[in-house]
Structure 1
Amino acid sequence: MTAMISAAVLGSAGIVHADVTSQSSATTPTDTSEVVAKTTDLGKAALTTSQTTESSADQNSNRQESTAPVSSNDQEKKASVENNQNNTEKTTNPEKEQSSDTVLKSSVSSVANNENKEVKSVTPATSSFATDENIVSQRTVPQANSTITVSNPTDYPTQAAKLVGKNSQGQPYYIYQIVNLRNPTLDSQQARLILAVDPANPQGNNFVYVTTDQYKKIYGNVYVIAPGRYADIAVGTSGSTSPNGENSRIFRVSNTQPFTFNFNGKTISVPASVSIKSVRTVNPVYGLGNQAKINYTDKVDITPELNNPAIEYIYRDKDGNYTTNSALPTNVPVNGITGQRFLITNVDNYKQVVKGYYLTNQKDSLSNTANGKDYQGTISQFQIGKYYQKTLYNWDRSVSQTLIYELLDPQGTMNISLVRPNAKTETKRVAVGQVDRFSNGTLARNPFVPGANAVQLVYADLGHIIPVDENGQVISQDQPIYNNDETDAHKAAATASPDLTAEGWVLNDPKQATITPANPGEDTKVEYRRVIINTETKTVTQTVKYEYADGITEGRPSLPAPRVQVATFTHTTITNPVTGDIISDTWTPAQKFTTVYSPKVDGFYADFAYVGGNDNVTQNTPDTTFVVKYAGPNENVEHQTVTQTVHYQYKDGITEGRPALPQDNVQQKSFTHTVKTDPEGNIIEDTWTPDQADNQFTAVKSPNIHDEATDTNYYYDQAVVGGNTNVTQSTPDTEFIVYYLPGNITTQSKSITQTVHYAYRDGVTQGRPALPTDNVQRVTFTQKIETNPFTGDVTGYSWDPIYSKFDSVQTPELKGFYADQEVAGGDTHVIPEDSDTTYTVYYAAPVSKITDEKHVTQTITYEYADGITANRPTLPRTDVQTKVFYRTVTTNPWTDKVISDTWSPAQNFTVVQTPTINGYYYDQAQAGSNSAVTHENPDTEYIVQYAPGKVTTEDKTVTQTIKYEYADGVTEGRPTLPADNTITVDFTHTIVRDPWTDKVISDTWSPAQTINPVESPTIDGFTPDHAEIPGKTITYDSENLEYVVKYTKDEEPNKPTPEEPTPEEPTTPEPEKPNGPVEETPTPSQPQPTVPAPEAPVQQPTKPVEESSEIPVINQVVSAKPAAPNKEANNKLPQTGNQDSTAIIGLGLVTAFASLFGFGKRKSEK
């Protein structure tokens, strides 16, 4: 058949993808596995369409940015695809991309719309792309004397590999996914897609090939899909090529480029992934990781990566969590691609000793080959500490959902998170090989393949030595980490316990001075004991004494007290409490005695200027004493005085009529001149000494002069005169004069006004009362100004009056309006410095508003008393009446003071008549209240209960007994008589009562019954006196019946037949006493039943009779005389109380007949 392969260039879309599988319907996937979603952060990366054709290596120059379909028949018309690159949304602005809507525009040119256009296409070679090369690369790792050899997987599709191309270095493209295409066939063979990447850049372009399960050739173009772009590949001849149409033959391949986004509060980077979206579904034939080989409508795979590690160094913390750790060695990469196999020689060489950590892997557990040295592994898709994504798109290129994968431990446990637009992120912890399900039905499948991974070297923290006392309590923070065993990464080496002697502790067990832990990750507690400390002290002294040389002390200055210096030394011995050995025997260090300078003694001189001093005083230095002696000099003394005088005068010389001037201010300082000589006459000292402590003249502040009689101030020309901070015996005497004059006086006046103005707050006056006229008050002040006659400066002023006060103005009332002030103005004193003031009193209308709304409800609820509603009539709807009350508060517009506070008036509820329910009785004929209610009334609730009637029953049995006897009483030698024939008839007495009042509603007996005739059994040679006992109608009030049939021996032939005996009356047994009164008068035959109406509610009986289970009483007839109940019946419908009058008549006829024929009651014969 003719195969059609085409591609459509579509617009860009945000990044995300997932796997959605389908096993039955192309439109409704039955299994959604590995579905991924888009968030705003994911929008940073976007897909745009990009397909380029590729042929063999010598045709690379013919690549195109768009592709055209190529048919296997050159005679067929070729379809083309219009490349709308200018309509493609770019991804150069991450911020713009991040805020874009999830539905992204696309420019679609379908094959159907471009059938008449021809675009040059390149038909790639069908078999010359690559050779079947299995060994890909080999690298020698310099650090470990080991090599890592990389090869393709054992199940690598070598036949398909012959169809793929090579990169510019001649390396074959690496196949990581092959899928069957559902329904399309090519040359009657199963159509397939091959997905491959460049081994030098696997996170870059994806190369997609259309072929069949025979891998004979490539159909159409090779699609080169750049990162962030996608291609629509139409395969087959049937079906629409619209990317979102039903029965579409398009398979959309999207290359989601690596991107970074915020996830769970941190920024993560995820590698690329590729999705295949189709309506017809695909089924994986070959792929990486744990894949379910089922039908997918969206198949998504994590794109292979280059240089993933062959050796992973993993850290496990004390809580068992696995992560990376910068202290561990860097992972060892392998020069290969995800999914390829690798062989590491001498794998144990990678076990490194890391300070503070130990290797948790079991010893000799790494090598997995026969030689016991090497490791055969697979370059894994997943690493601890990294994240991976799968993204699923809708047909309109909007993101459907995103799965984020995080490997948690070396065993393969994963966190799988579902991220959807406008939905909360969900996370599932999924064990290896397991599948969980998210809330939207998406399956969380763990893709990790056990064993298909790198060498995982897991390190954990080494333990510590923990010092403790004899009670196990930790005594020190000196807790050393175990030393590493430099020859074995699995072990800890011998580690010295800390020396805590300085902290006062020694080892309890000297053998624990060094610890070699058996478990390198477990702490070891080492016990310590307190040391024994003994101390003693010793003192050494240096003493300096002072004496007069002649021994005389009386009348002389006191001599200095002895100067004693003391050095104290402590002797400390520390003993080990375990061994008794002296750990330490020390004296405190050497000290110093300082040199002592001889103090001065007035008038006397020491024989030594200083004595003593020792820089090395130890506990062995002897005590020492020094004596300093004093002798006195000769002296000559004279005195001198220095004077400062201040005089006060009126400048104009006038003193009459003026205040007296201040007295002269005189200050004197005296000095003493002393000359001291030694006994030999040599001048020892020649000094001037002030006789007072204060050796300076103070500056004199000029006194104020005020004439109280004339209230006149006098001013000085100098505020301060004199003063000398350094008066000595050489300072000359000094004199100063201060002059006074009266101040100069001038006057001025000032007026101040207070105005009270009245206005409406809103400014509106029309139609309102006239406002009061302004109130204006005035105060006048007179000021006297005084100036200094020497400087002209104003020195003071006074006002008359000093202050005044405006009157407060009572605000006039204005009908219907409220003022913002009751009183205006006059609130403070007025002083001359104040300015004119104006007060404005505003009027405004009162404010009314509804502040509260109260709903008062009356609720009448209907319910069954026992709470059961199933299979019962529907209860009446709850009756709810609501009365709404409003609270209106009128307030002063200025003070918010409440003027009035009222609620809307009282209202009335309606009393509700209780609806009837057939077969059930209510406890209240009406409910509710019509009393007036206000907002203060609480909500009220009434409950009306329904219950079925209470049914009680008693049973009565009427018996008919037929006995058989021989007439002559002889039984010996004769046939055995028949057994008594006993027939019983049961009747039920049913009484129905109102469940609330206990009033009898219905009192009935079950109807009359008929006993059929009974033939008398035959006895050979004997004849019964009655051939049959006739039938009879029995009612509940019938008495028990008893008949006796007598057998007479048949007469011999020719013997006269005796007369037939007259039958006796039938025996009437003594009737049993009935349990209650029995109605004897029959009721009319089959009366029409009526339904009693419920009565008004009454109080419940204090001792209710036992109730039957819920039996609705329908069509009841009330008996005139109910029988007393003797038991209750459950779950029985009551019988009507009719009596069959014909039965009574029949009973009378039977009795008469019995009398006529002579059978009836007989006395028992024995």
Structure 2
Amino acid sequence: MTAMISAAVLGSAGIVHADVTSQSSATTPTDTSEVVAKTTDLGKAALTTSQNTESSADQNSNKQESTAPVSSNDQEKKASVENNQNNTEKTTNPEKEQSSDTVLKSSVSSVANNENKEVKSVTPATSSFATDENIVSQRTVPQANSTITVSNPTDYPTQAAKLVGKNSQGQPYYIYQIVNLRNPTLDSQQARLILAVDPANPQGNNFVYVTTDQYKKIYGNVYVIAPGRYADIAVGTSGSTSPNGENSRIFRVSNTQPFTFNFNGKTISVPASVSIKSVRTVNPVYGLGNQAKINYTDKVDITPELNNPAIEYIYRDKDGNYTTNSALPTNVPVNGITGQRFLITNVDNYKQVVKGYYLTNQKDSLSNTANGKDYQGTISQFQIGKYYQKTLYNWDRSVSQTLIYELLDPQGTMNISLVRPNAKTETKRVAVGQVDRFSNGTLARNPFVPGANAVQLVYADLGHIIPVDENGQVISQDQPIYNNDETDAHKAAATASPDLTAEGWVLNDPKQATITPANPGEDTKVEYRRVIINTETKTVTQTVKYEYADGITEGRPSLPAPRVQVATFTHTTITNPVTGDIISDTWTPAQKFTTVYSPKVDGFYADFAYVGGNDNVTQNTPDTTFVVKYAGPNENVEHQTVTQTVHYQYKDGITEGRPALPQDNVQQKSFTHTVKTDPEGNIIEDTWTPDQADNQFTAVKSPNIHDEATDTNYYYDQAVVGGNTNVTQSTPDTEFIVYYLPGNITTQSKSITQTVHYAYRDGVTQGRPALPTDNVQRVTFTQKIETNPFTGDVTGYNWDPIYSKFDSVQTPELKGFYADQEVAGGDTHVIPEDSDTTYTVYYAAPVSKITDEKHVTQTITYEYADGITANRPTLPRTDVQTKVFYRTVTTNPWTDKVISDTWSPAQTINPVESPTIDGFTPDHAEIPGKTITYDSENLEYVVKYTKDEEPNKPTPEEPTPEEPTTPEPEKPNGPVEETPTPSQPQPTVPAPEAPVQQPTKPVEESSEIPVINQVVSAKPAAPNKEANNKLPQTGNQDSTAIIGLGLVTAFASLFGFGKRKSEK
């Protein structure tokens, strides 16, 4: 025998298959491309499978066939069929939903090589129910005082069972299908396939064995087919190994795993199924459920399940439909597999009384054993309320079709639906034991086996009592359900008819006050008659009137109209029309009069805020009247003020030397309290009224403080304080303190310099005057960084000053030399980013000479006013001052151009204080100074002394006068001409022409010189050096000094100035 396994991918579990007999084998499988174009969600899975199985087929096509010795008799033998009893199959919900897009790639595995394994023949199982050998499990149910024993079916293939393996718990695999293989023979015996499952997980792997009808040995490997996988098994030596060839010896076994999908608008879950597909067909020898012994090209069986119920509680509705019901007890599971037998002791103990339902099974109908207490049954494949599937595949591993099975009633009637890609779903209602056919030739065979099933306890709704009138018409929705008989689940107990007196009906027959139904499921009509009703009415009133207390109405507001409330009561008498008895004699229930609040009357107040009110007004309550009187009010007024104050303080308490703090910010709101009382002193109004429209305290923004004198900022700890949007008379006074501190200052400095350097143009310094020292100016910038003392935030940083400037530097005079620049430097916009700057001033000797000179003299003579000199102090000597002026012509040393042709500048004759003579007073205390020029006239003054009036005649001390020395003015030496010879050609820089200085006119002499009547010492005082516009405070100045000053001035005027700047 040759056994070949091809691992490939099954069609998705979202598409299912159906059984197809050999008669319908001519049906053409759906083309893959057609599935792609036309399928729905189910077809999408088939499409996915078709696309993904091509590679698997390619891979498997390279597998080598292995051959094994077989019988020379290759004639097709008819399958020997063992006598088998049809068994039903059962399913449970799958553990997980299979996605329609899942691609299953695992291949089937071989777990044992049993080639040529010999098996001795064994005696078939006896028909007795329970022996030590065939008992599978036993369970005691304490609640029902019952034991459930499970064993294999009486026709279980015990000979074949010797070939199958065991699981890890030592349990033999459970055989649920054996089929003959048409044509192949092994050792001249009919070839067969055995399909078995693990009893601990029957919805998992399928174990497939190749053997013969003699069950002597297993040929080839044991094929373990996992859920969602398939195996191609080649049996025999003749024929093609192509799965869909005309003479193919391939038998494809596919394990469709449990899955969930959308069916008829609802999501259902179905258990696994296994299909066998071949060209040569197969014929069932042993299996579960109702199976026909015919040839199949596609044979599909529902895989056994574990723990299906032995006791089923089923609900039948009024339309005869069977389903599950959560009100019923939970099904009782059995520890066995579909198709196994079970024995339940004391089965009647499972009949339970369920409120609102009754058991429809005939009494004593459950027991089916000789002792009349026990029940022997088979674990069924099917349960009401669940669905099952059989899935069929095309050779390309796409889904061909599906049969969906639904058990409709305990008798076995089923809905069988055919689901195909790109086709409308067909559904057949098939009675037990019957077969129908779908439009594509697929058989719709009902696999249910009557009697081979669990105990089915069918419950239905108990009947109701239906109230009707004498014409049989229903008169009320009060239709009580029958009470249960607590001792017998089949029966209903006595039930009271409803009391409809409140609805106006009474029983026509008092004997029907209680109903004991003969049929617990049928309703009972109970006749009622209308009662006789008589009525009468009565009213009760409550009246409120309004008056002025003093009876005056004129000129006053109109009073409210009286308020009247009326309660109406009805007296009802109900009489039984059958007996004449008074059934009821009642008044309508008590009512209420509401409290009446006194209306407002402008300017007046009621003596009662409200009157009346009664929570228990009956027909016996007398009419009542209330009078409310109004009087004017008494009024008392008081006022209240609410204040918000913001104070400002320095945090460190220091105020000296700092700016004044802001004044307290004070906001106030006032309120008026008005209390009005009635004439009796009762408070009728107590109100507070704000005196202003705005009743808010605004939030106060803290003022900024800046000290201009020190440029210091002061910071507050709170930017905004206070504020209240709803100030009332109850708001307490509030105070806030805002603290200030000066900013924290840190500094850094940077200095920038301007240097004016002095040099001789020709570089020669020997024998010449020393050059001026470099003029260096320094500008220092200070960067101030200021931080908030409360927050630490940097609030400002800047350079101080932002910019500065350098003074321009007047070029110093250098005797005998001429500078190229009058002024050097003087940048007016120096910023911290600038660099140091150097300017160079060059000197050269000018060419100057004096061409003319002139003397101007001031002479002061001292005399006695009366001309008498005898016996008087000697008069001061004559004071003479002479100023010399020179005319100088100076030429530029570079261009020989006349730079200046000027007289020496104006000179000043210092003021001369008149000397003191004891006992005499000069008419001029001082001769004022004069500014004179070269063209001024000589000046002459006479100071006269007048004798003082003397009470005593002191002897004057006569000073010894000194003879003045008249210096001879020196003439300056002739100009020194210096013509520098540069080492290289120098650029010609024209020097600016100095304007010719005009002579300054002498200051006119004062018309009057006041005489200071003060006797001072005759000793001359030192000359005063204050400005010329003030009177001198000293006496005569040494004329020698005057002449010397003139000479210095003359020499200084010899030199002019040019300009030249060099910046480094």
Report the TM-score, using the length of structure 2 for normalisation. Answer: 0.49
Distance in 2 (CA, whole Å) between partners of 1:542 and 1:576 is 37
Q: How does 1:991-1010 map to 2 (within 5 A)?
A: none
Distance 1:609 1:873, change over 3 A: same
Distance in 2 (CA, whole Å) between partners of 1:871 and 1:154 is 190
Q: Is the 8 A contact 2:116 2:217 kept in 1?
A: no
How far is the alpha carbon of 1:150 from its aligned partner? 0.5
How far is the alpha carbon of 1:228 from its aligned partner? 1.1
Range that drifts further, 1055-1064 or 190-199: 1055-1064
Per-residue Cα deviation, 1:386-419 (whole angstroms, up to 9, x for no partner): 2212222232223332222111111111112222
Larger RCO of the pair (alpha carbons < 8 Å, separation 6+): 2
How far is the alpha carbon of 1:304 from its aligned partner? 0.7
Q: Is the 8 A contact 2:85 2:155 kept in 1?
A: no
Q: Is the 8 A contact 1:573 1:585 kept in 2?
A: yes
Distance in 2 (CA, whole Å) between partners of 1:495 and 1:663 is 95
Paired residue for 2:910? 1012
Q: Is the 8 A contact 2:108 2:231 kept in 1?
A: no
Range that drifts further, 1082-1091 or 631-640: 1082-1091
How far is the alpha carbon of 1:695 from its aligned partner? 25
Paired residue for 1:1038? 936
How far is the alpha carbon of 1:588 from its aligned partner? 3.8
Q: Is the 8 A contact 1:52 1:63 kept in 2?
A: no
How far is the alpha carbon of 1:200 from its aligned partner? 0.3
Per-residue Cα deviation, 1:933-990 (whole angstroms, up to 9, x for no partner): xxxxxxxxxxxxxxxxxxxxxxxxxxxxxxxxxxxxxxxxxxxxxxxxxxxxxxxxxx
Distance 1:176 1:1164, change over 3 A: farther
Distance 1:844 1:429, change over 3 A: farther
Distance in 2 (CA, whole Å) between partners of 1:212 and 1:524 is 66
Q: Is the 8 A contact 2:901 2:996 kept in 1?
A: no
Instruction: Give the secondary structure class of the aligned counterpart of 2:28.
Output: coil
Distance in 2 (CA, whole Å) between partners of 1:458 and 1:57 is 51
Paired residue for 2:870? 870
Distance in 2 (CA, whole Å) between partners of 1:580 and 1:774 is 147
Q: Is the 8 A contact 2:469 2:475 kept in 1?
A: yes
Distance 1:484 1:1090, change over 3 A: farther
How far is the alpha carbon of 1:238 from its aligned partner? 2.1
Q: Is the 8 A contact 1:467 1:474 kept in 2?
A: yes
Distance in 2 (CA, whole Å) between partners of 1:26 and 1:856 is 159
Per-residue Cα deviation, 1:811-844 (whole angstroms, up to 9, x for no partner): 9999999999999999999999999999999999
Q: Is the 8 A contact 2:911 2:1033 kept in 1?
A: no
Per-residue Cα deviation, 1:350-391 (whole angstroms, up to 9, x for no partner): 112222222111111111111111111001111111221222
How far is the alpha carbon of 1:288 from its aligned partner? 0.8
How far is the alpha carbon of 1:315 from its aligned partner? 1.6
Structure with max Cα Rg: 2
Distance in 1 (CA, whole Å) between partners of 2:436 and 2:220 is 40
Q: Is the 8 A contact 2:126 2:154 kept in 1?
A: no
Distance 1:1138 1:410, change over 3 A: farther
Q: Is the 8 A contact 2:76 2:184 kept in 1?
A: no
Q: Which runs of 5+ in 2 are unaligned?
A: none
Distance 1:573 1:242, change over 3 A: same
Per-residue Cα deviation, 1:1118-1155 (whole angstroms, up to 9, x for no partner): 99999999999999999999999999999999999999
Distance 1:69 1:777, change over 3 A: farther
Distance 1:643 1:536, change over 3 A: same
How far is the alpha carbon of 1:33 from its aligned partner? 27
Distance in 2 (CA, whole Å) between partners of 1:336 and 1:696 is 86
Q: Is the 8 A contact 1:1033 1:1146 kept in 2?
A: no
Distance 1:578 1:312, change over 3 A: same
Q: Is the 8 A contact 1:7 1:69 kept in 2?
A: no
Distance 1:169 1:585, change over 3 A: same
Range that drifts further, 556-565 or 287-296: 556-565
Q: Is the 8 A contact 1:10 1:107 kept in 2?
A: no
Q: Is the 8 A contact 1:1116 1:1136 kept in 2?
A: no
Distance in 2 (CA, whole Å) between partners of 1:891 and 1:625 is 137
Range that drifts further, 1027-1036 or 371-380: 1027-1036
How far is the alpha carbon of 1:462 from its aligned partner? 1.8
Range that drifts further, 839-848 or 12-21: 839-848
Range that drifts further, 1105-1114 or 129-138: 1105-1114
How far is the alpha carbon of 1:134 from its aligned partner? 1.3
Distance 1:129 1:1154, change over 3 A: farther
Distance in 1 (CA, whole Å) between partners of 2:699 and 2:559 is 42
Q: Is the 8 A contact 2:7 2:108 kept in 1?
A: no
How far is the alpha carbon of 1:227 from its aligned partner? 1.0
Q: Is the 8 A contact 1:6 1:79 kept in 2?
A: no
Range that drifts further, 696-705 or 1102-1111: 1102-1111
Q: Percent identity?
A: 100
Q: Is the 8 A contact 1:20 1:298 kept in 2?
A: yes
Paired residue for 2:281? 281
Q: Does 1:57 align with 2:54?
A: no
Q: Is the 8 A contact 2:378 2:453 kept in 1?
A: yes
How far is the alpha carbon of 1:611 from its aligned partner? 9.0
Distance in 2 (CA, whole Å) between partners of 1:265 and 1:852 is 138
Distance 1:1161 1:440, change over 3 A: farther
Per-residue Cα deviation, 1:162-183 (whole angstroms, up to 9, x for no partner): 1111100011100111122223
Distance in 2 (CA, whole Å) between partners of 1:108 and 1:1029 is 145
Q: Is the 8 A contact 1:18 1:34 kept in 2?
A: no
Per-residue Cα deviation, 1:732-775 (whole angstroms, up to 9, x for no partner): 99999999999999999999999999999999999999999999
Per-residue Cα deviation, 1:876-924 (whole angstroms, up to 9, x for no partner): 9999999999999999999999xxxxxxxxxxxxxxxxxxxxxxxxxxx
Distance in 1 (CA, whole Å) between partners of 2:377 and 2:69 is 42
Distance 1:826 1:668, change over 3 A: same
How far is the alpha carbon of 1:184 from its aligned partner? 2.4
Q: Is the 8 A contact 1:235 1:250 kept in 2?
A: yes
Distance in 1 (CA, whole Å) between partners of 2:852 and 2:138 is 87
Distance in 1 (CA, whole Å) between partners of 2:869 and 2:310 is 71
How far is the alpha carbon of 1:246 from its aligned partner? 2.5
How far is the alpha carbon of 1:217 from its aligned partner? 1.8
Paired residue for 1:328? 328
How far is the alpha carbon of 1:290 from its aligned partner? 0.9
Q: Is the 8 A contact 1:752 1:835 kept in 2?
A: yes
Range that drifts further, 652-661 or 1128-1137: 1128-1137
Instruction: Give the secondary structure class of the aligned counterpart of 1:143.
Output: helix
How far is the alpha carbon of 1:803 from its aligned partner? 66
Distance 1:258 1:572, change over 3 A: same
Q: Is the 8 A contact 2:314 2:459 kept in 1?
A: yes
Instruction: Give the secondary structure class of the aligned counterpart of 1:87.
Output: coil
How far is the alpha carbon of 1:272 from its aligned partner? 1.1
Paired residue for 2:820? 820
Q: Is the 8 A contact 2:71 2:186 kept in 1?
A: no
Q: Is the 8 A contact 1:203 1:272 kept in 2?
A: yes
Q: Is the 8 A contact 1:129 1:162 kept in 2?
A: no
Q: Does 1:1111 align with 2:1003?
A: no
Range that drifts further, 648-657 or 436-445: 648-657
Distance in 1 (CA, whole Å) between partners of 2:695 and 2:562 is 36
Per-residue Cα deviation, 1:274-313 (whole angstroms, up to 9, x for no partner): 1222223222211111111122222221111111111111
Distance in 2 (CA, whole Å) between partners of 1:1011 and 1:807 is 33
Distance 1:23 1:608, change over 3 A: closer
How far is the alpha carbon of 1:187 from its aligned partner? 2.3
Distance 1:788 1:86, change over 3 A: farther
Range that drifts further, 854-863 or 521-530: 854-863
Distance in 1 (CA, whole Å) between partners of 2:17 and 2:868 is 54
Distance 1:321 1:187, change over 3 A: same
Distance 1:1118 1:624, change over 3 A: closer
Report the TM-score, using the length of structure 1 for normalisation. Answer: 0.45
Instruction: Give the secondary structure class of the aligned counterpart of 2:35.
Output: coil
How far is the alpha carbon of 1:585 from its aligned partner? 2.0
Q: Does 1:832 align with 2:832?
A: yes
How far is the alpha carbon of 1:46 from its aligned partner? 8.3
Q: Is the 8 A contact 1:35 1:391 kept in 2?
A: no
Number of equivalent positions? 1064
How far is the alpha carbon of 1:85 from its aligned partner? 40
Distance 1:1151 1:68, change over 3 A: farther
Distance in 2 (CA, whole Å) between partners of 1:179 and 1:864 is 179
Distance 1:528 1:288, change over 3 A: same
Distance 1:624 1:1004, change over 3 A: same
Range that drifts further, 353-362 or 740-749: 740-749
Q: Is the 8 A contact 1:340 1:379 kept in 2?
A: yes
Distance in 2 (CA, whole Å) between partners of 1:1099 and 1:470 is 155
Per-residue Cα deviation, 1:632-667 (whole angstroms, up to 9, x for no partner): 999999999999999999999999999999999999
How far is the alpha carbon of 1:186 from its aligned partner? 2.2
Distance in 1 (CA, whole Å) between partners of 2:128 and 2:423 is 50
